[in-house]
Amino acid sequence: MSMGRRVPALVFLGAFLAIAILSAHGQEDQKGQPAGHVDVRIVGPVSTKPLIAGLARAVAQASGIQIGGRFSLTNAGTLDALAQGDADLVLLTKPLTGEERADYPDLDLVVIPIGMEVVALGVSADLWNAGVHAISPATMREIYEQKITNWKAVGGPDEKIMLFNFAEGGGVWEVFAQWLYGDNRKAPIPKVQSAANSEDARDDLEFTPGGIVPIGAGFVDGSRCHALGLDLPGGIVAPTSEAVAANRYPIVRPIIAVVIGRPTLGIRAVTDYLTSPAGQALVKKTGALGLDAVPQAPKPDY
């Protein structure tokens, strides 16, 4: 097995978290196992933390299966945990490439599509009501770099642009910056107020006239937060499941689960839950879109 993509253990943010849901007194879980017992170990990039936490609670309640979660700074570190036997299932926020498969030639890496991370460009209600419904990538870049500071310059009201940003390295920021600059390492970090998560970003827009922020598409509600269409050469495209599935909306990346071989027992219970209606509702609750937004809607390859 190639060691070229090995990532040191330091990429993980601590030991497995106490995500496993135990009984009220913490002595035994629903299957009579001692407190702290873990049935399925999951590793994912930091942006998947809300999904893994919600998954652990839901699966424990539904079947008594205990999930332990750990988080990597990179997708490469996440995959490496699976290869080294430190995880039973990993989540990736990118496709599994042929090169990665070649790095682990002895492993039967099985991919289960989960959904799509989709970033919308959310604006406040006052802007939407004033007719600001779409934006071009070039204009968004000038706003992000604070070269355009008033909406009047782009056909909107005479109002100061209030840009909010996510912390560098956050999932929403990574997807947004990758789209805007082609490589998120090239993106500057503007000196503006940061949102901790998409829910906070939506609250910021509700109370900030002239506000704009990259936000998980699942948090766009059409009242506190409106999603701008992207003014692209082929026309204006909104961040809908249909547009994402058709590969027309570009501020996206996939969410996939990867396991070794055909999943069975507890691992199968987890993958089945993730692709079930309840699991898909959980995916959407984190701000992502579900399997209906996955291009070609592929099925698990097992």
Domain boundaries of the chain, sorted by first residue: 9-117+253-293, 118-245
Q: Are 273 and 55 in contact (CB under 8 A)?
A: yes
pLDDT at 5: 39
Q: Are 23 and 30 in contact (CB under 8 A)?
A: yes
Output 192 or 10, whichever has higher pLDDT: 192
pLDDT at 18: 38
Burial class of residue 199, CB neighbours in 10 A (0-12, 13-18, 19+): middle
Q: In which band, very low, low, confident or very high, does the pLDDT at 27 lie, cut at 50, 70 and 90?
A: very low
Q: Are 205 and 157 in contact (CB under 8 A)?
A: no
Q: Rounded to an integer, what distance in angstroms lies between the CA atom of residue 211 and that of residue 204? A: 8
pLDDT at 17: 45
pLDDT at 65: 92
pLDDT at 74: 79
Burial class of residue 265, CB neighbours in 10 A (0-12, 13-18, 19+): exposed
Residue 105 has pLDDT above 50, yes or no: yes
Q: Regarding the domain delimited by 118-245, which CATH topology (the fold level of the hierarchy) does it fall under?
A: D-Maltodextrin-Binding Protein; domain 2 (3.40.190)
Q: Which helix (H) or strand (E) covers residue 91, if one does?
A: strand 89-92
User: pLDDT tens, 110-143?
Assistant: 999 999 999 999 999 999 999 999 999 999 999 9
- Quote the percentage of the chain above a pLDDT of 70: 84
Average pLDDT over residues 1-26: 39
Average pLDDT over residues 248-275: 95
Domains 9-117+253-293 and 118-245 share a fold: yes
pTM over 0.85: no
pLDDT at 296: 78
- Quote the percentage of the chain above a pLDDT of 90: 66
pLDDT at 168: 59
pLDDT at 163: 94
User: pLDDT tens, 168-200?
Assistant: 556 888 899 999 999 988 988 888 888 888 888
Average pLDDT over residues 230-256: 96
Q: Regarding the domain delimited by 9-117+253-293, which CATH topology (the fold level of the hierarchy) does it fall under?
A: D-Maltodextrin-Binding Protein; domain 2 (3.40.190)
Residue 290 structure tokens: 């579900």
Q: Rounded to an integer, what distance in angstroms lies between the CA atom of residue 88 and that of residue 65? A: 13
Q: Which helix (H) or strand (E) covers residue 190, if one does?
A: none
Average pLDDT over residues 245-256: 96
